[in-house]
C-alpha cells in the first residue's frame, strides 16, 4: 500500500494539532501503517491539496476537498475519541 499523506491542522499549528499529530502517530504504530503525517496551519492546507489523502483538524473547513476531512476535537476532550479513531482508520484503510 502506498504511503498515505495525512494532514493535521489547527489554526496556529501549535497547540491542538500537536496533540492530534501524536495521536495519529500512535495509531499508525499500533496498526503498522506507514504514514506521512504533516502538522500544519489550516491556512496551509491548500498547498497539500494535490498530495493529501486525509485531513484531520480541530478547526472548521469551509472549502471542499477531494480527500476526507475528519474533525478531531475528541482528542482534546476525550469525548468520542474511539469513534474518531475509527473514522480515521476507516479513511486510511480504504
Partner 1 sequence: MNDFYFEEANILLNLEAENDKDVLVQMGRNLQELGLVHESFIDAIVAREEEFSTGLPTSTISVAIPHTDIEHVKQKSISIGVLKNEVGFGVMGDPEETTRVKVVFMLAMDEAHSQLYLLQRLMSIFQHNTMLTTIAQEQDKAKIVRLVKSELDIINEGGEVTWQKNKY
Residues in the site for partner 1, rule: CB under 8 A? 10-16, 18-19, 21-22, 39, 42, 57-60, 71-73, 75-79
Residue 9, SS3?
strand
**Least Å distance between CB 56 and partner 1?**
11
What CA dihedral angle connects 14, 15, 20 and 26, to 10 degrees?
Answer: 80
Nearer to partner 1 by Cβ, of 1 and 15: the residue is: 15
Backbone φ, ψ for residue 34 (5° rounding) = -95, 100
Closest CB to partner 1 among residues 72, 92: 72
Amino acid at each position: 500500500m502506498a504511503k498515505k499523506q495525512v494532514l493535521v491542522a489547527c489554526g496556529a499549528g501549535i497547540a491542538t494539532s500537536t496533540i492530534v499529530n501524536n495521536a495519529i502517530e500512535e495509531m499508525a504504530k499500533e496498526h503498522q501503517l506507514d504514514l506521512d503525517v504533516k502538522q500544519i496551519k489550516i491556512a496551509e492546507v491548500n498547498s497539500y491539496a494535490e498530495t493529501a489523502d486525509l485531513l484531520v483538524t480541530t478547526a472548521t473547513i469551509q472549502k471542499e476537498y477531494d480527500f476526507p476531512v475528519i474533525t478531531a476535537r475528541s482528542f482534546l476532550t476525550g469525548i468520542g475519541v474511539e469513534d474518531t479513531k475509527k473514522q480515521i482508520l476507516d479513511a486510511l484503510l480504504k
